[in-house]
Structure 1
Amino acid sequence: MADKFRQDGHQAQNAAVLLKVAQTMAKLGIAPFPRNYELFYDALCGQNAALTRDVASLGPEPAQSRLDEVGIKHHLPGFAAIATENIRADAAQTISAINHGLNNSIAKKEAFAALLRHFIDRLETDPVAGMSEFADDAGRLRDAVTAFEREERAFAISMRETVAQLGGIGSDIEIMRKASIRDPVTGLANRIAFSAKLAALYDDGNAAGPAALALVTVEGLRDLGESHGAATAEKALKKLAPVFRKSVKKNDFVARIGANEFAFVFHDVSADNADAIAQRIRASVEAVEITLPNRTFTSETLSLSTGIAMALTASSSTDLFTQAELALHAVRAGGGPGVLVFSAAIGSRATKTYSPHAA
């Protein structure tokens, strides 16, 4: 019953945030684009203090370009297309400059070649021409060579600068690619990357091997943010991220998939192994002390509720996610925190009022 009250409270809170997003956007004259809803939802949820500050500094009726700048700065997935278009425009401008430089260089080379052919023709067709005339032609040819060498050096420098600029554009593209699959607060993979990872477990329609999915809720994180501010919750998340990374093998996977929710994929494990790993991660999290603002000698701790499902006993990635979520729901319904591996008994106890989310 206590868990139901918590669930209802969290749902009510999310509904309140969504209503506040719509009201805030309307008040500030923000266009109702999906990416703008994402921006203001993330800002008002308070899980990224820097984003919240940047949005607050925009003022009333900010230009869409300023909203896009903030979204791109904080690597929000909805703004990836805008960032990609900016990069594409920069690349197109750079390529146009290269084309102009090449055409200019070719034209100068052709002019020099014509001058050289003219000089050679004079030597062949008019061998008795006066020395002064040849001297004049030689002087013009020498000047042309000097100018040609100068232009070639300038073009070479321009090409090096252009190559460096293209390298920078390539780096920007790589940064955006990584940002699109990374959580900006923890640096862990995000839900987009998690969905791809989960789908890859069933590439050919069957489980790739003995893997386990663990869905985790960080107990106490939401209350920490509500009581002590978004910056404190963000600091806690940044402390948990390295704990999670160090707690899994190199070929395992961890992602942040919600405000206080994470997902792990353990490879080559049995149900007992997965349970033991989850228990170890929980103990590591409970050992982390979160200092409170303006309270030097006061700290709080967090814990984990974890639901585990095994890939070999699920028919698809969606089924695997549903089983793990049912196990997590059972843990929290029992008062949590704790760890529970999905079983047929848990599935049979699932009520019709519980609707698991698609992965």
Structure 2
Amino acid sequence: MNKQNSAVTSVGLRVATVMFQMGIDGLPRNYELVYEAYSGNNPELTKGFIAIGKHKTQKALDELGRKFLPHHHEESVAARTNERMRTEITSFIGLLEEEQSSLSDYSKIIDEASRSFSTDGEIDRETLSRSIQQLSMATERQASKSEALVAVAAEQAAALEEVKSDIDNFERMKFVDPLTGLANRRAFNKAVARVYSNPDLPMMCGLAFVEIDDFQRFNAKGAGDHAIRHVGQLFQGANREGEFIARLDGNRFAFLVNSAAEDEIMRVIDRMRAAAAMRPVIISDNGTGLGNATLSIGVAMSTIADNAARLMGFAEQALAASEKEGGDRATLFSRNAPASAGEQKGWMIYKA
């Protein structure tokens, strides 16, 4: 197992263990917060996590999350949007009040002109001329102001449409991995949490953690992201049943396969492995082939775990077993392994 794969597996296993030992609820935002704290990618977050102390309340975790993972606390996004909307609406109300005042002045001029036109007796040409001139000038001013109001109203309508687009885009992209177009870790955390939304009756499914073997080989050629995107696209093409697929981080993916049957779970896993091996990774700039991507996979069934943290922990252990055996295989963590498995009792190993 290369150092990068070992490090990722180690972090994932520690996260599941720490959450269980510290009694941290298996909420999606908690898993990502603990993962980031233990991965070492954000030293300040790690310091903040340690500073909370041994007993980490949900309130303290959320305060830390608001600072470092604001996407989990959508009220801050809503607050910013609300402030922008309030500014736009206040501005528009001001324009309407100005328009109302202008119309009132215009109405007075029209009223005065009307009185001069309807006066009985001899017509005062000078008064009539003055009234016509005032009415003409007032009409031009009002028309100009109305045009300006229409233009500003159009600008504000465009601004409000932009706000709506930003909100829609935020809702869409916060659960999408930008490199592959698959679901991201946040979406994965929510999906795993839903498995145990009813603790007494968890969803029947299998969780698979997946890593690209010998990923350093692709990184050394400057094709790490290309390999990840390539494998993600092959997974999408092979996902005929519409199972949940996410890219978590680095060269790691995850599947949630809806089935209570282990053999059905492994058939889906085998199809994904075959898809990854179907086409070699090719650097598009010069057409250089880097060979096929093989996968190490660890699978655990929801039926053998009573919460999301344990399910992920079992899948991590299965993944570690696959990598220890040299990769290019899938390991199922199962309570139904045959007695002949010897020292590997409790495991079923599927090889290519």
Q: What TM-score, normalized by structure 2, do the two folds share?
A: 0.67
Query: Which of the residues 276, 290, 306 maps onto 1:299?
Result: 290
Query: Which of the residues 210, 214, 217 maps onto 2:211?
Result: 217
C-alpha displacement of 1:3: 8.2
Contact 1:87–1:172 (CA under 8 A) maintained in structure 2: no
1:289 is aligned to 280
Letter in 2 for 1:164: A
C-alpha displacement of 1:151: 1.9
2:300 is aligned to 309
Separation of aligned partners in 2, 1:108 and 1:88: 30
Query: Which of the residues 96, 100, 120 maps onto 2:94?
Result: 100
Q: Which runs of 5+ in 1 are unaligned?
A: 13-17, 23-31, 36-75, 351-359
2:257 is aligned to 266
Q: How many residues align?
A: 291
1:1-359 to structure 2, matched below 5 A, reads 7=6, 34=45, 84=77, 94-119=88-113, 127-128=120-121, 130-132=123-125, 133-207=127-201, 209-225=203-219, 227-229=220-222, 232-249=223-240, 251-268=242-259, 270-291=261-282, 298-344=289-335
Q: Which runs of 5+ in 2 are unaligned?
A: 12-38, 47-67, 338-342, 345-352
Secondary structure in structure 1 of the residue aligned to 2:306: coil
C-alpha displacement of 1:108: 1.1
Separation of aligned partners in 2, 1:250 and 1:161: 46
Separation of aligned partners in 2, 1:156 and 1:9: 57
Contact 1:3–1:333 (CA under 8 A) maintained in structure 2: no
Against the structure 1 CA distance between its residues 144 and 293, is the aligned structure 2 distance closer, same or farther, given a 3 Å change threshold? closer
Separation of aligned partners in 2, 1:33 and 1:102: 49
Deviations 1:284-321 (A, max 9, x none): 11123123699855422211122222334432222322
Deviations 1:22-63 (A, max 9, x none): 9xxxxxxxxx8659xxxxxxxxxxxxxxxxxxxxxxxxxxxx
Against the structure 1 CA distance between its residues 6 and 153, is the aligned structure 2 distance closer, same or farther, given a 3 Å change threshold? closer
Contact 2:304–2:335 (CA under 8 A) maintained in structure 1: no
Secondary structure in structure 1 of the residue aligned to 2:178: coil
Separation of aligned partners in 1, 2:217 and 2:169: 33
1:28 is aligned to none
Letter in 2 for 1:175: N
Against the structure 1 CA distance between its residues 139 and 312, is the aligned structure 2 distance closer, same or farther, given a 3 Å change threshold? farther
Secondary structure in structure 2 of the residue aligned to 1:344: coil
Contact 1:202–1:317 (CA under 8 A) maintained in structure 2: yes
Against the structure 1 CA distance between its residues 176 and 250, is the aligned structure 2 distance closer, same or farther, given a 3 Å change threshold? farther
Deviations 1:328-357 (A, max 9, x none): 2232233332123221278xx89xxxxxxx
Separation of aligned partners in 2, 1:339 and 1:261: 14
1:29 is aligned to none
Secondary structure in structure 2 of the residue aligned to 1:237: helix
Q: What TM-score, normalized by structure 1, do the two folds share?
A: 0.66
Separation of aligned partners in 1, 2:8 and 2:163: 46
Separation of aligned partners in 1, 2:8 and 2:264: 34
Against the structure 1 CA distance between its residues 176 and 34, is the aligned structure 2 distance closer, same or farther, given a 3 Å change threshold? farther
Separation of aligned partners in 2, 1:243 and 1:271: 23
Contact 1:4–1:333 (CA under 8 A) maintained in structure 2: no
Against the structure 1 CA distance between its residues 10 and 118, is the aligned structure 2 distance closer, same or farther, given a 3 Å change threshold? same
Against the structure 1 CA distance between its residues 8 and 129, is the aligned structure 2 distance closer, same or farther, given a 3 Å change threshold? same
Superposition RMSD on alpha carbons, in Å? 4.1
C-alpha displacement of 1:247: 2.0
C-alpha displacement of 1:271: 2.0
Against the structure 1 CA distance between its residues 8 and 153, is the aligned structure 2 distance closer, same or farther, given a 3 Å change threshold? closer
Contact 2:298–2:316 (CA under 8 A) maintained in structure 1: yes
Contact 1:34–1:78 (CA under 8 A) maintained in structure 2: no
Separation of aligned partners in 2, 1:345 and 1:208: 19
Overall identity of the aligned pairs, in %: 20
Against the structure 1 CA distance between its residues 129 and 327, is the aligned structure 2 distance closer, same or farther, given a 3 Å change threshold? farther
Secondary structure in structure 1 of the residue aligned to 2:271: helix
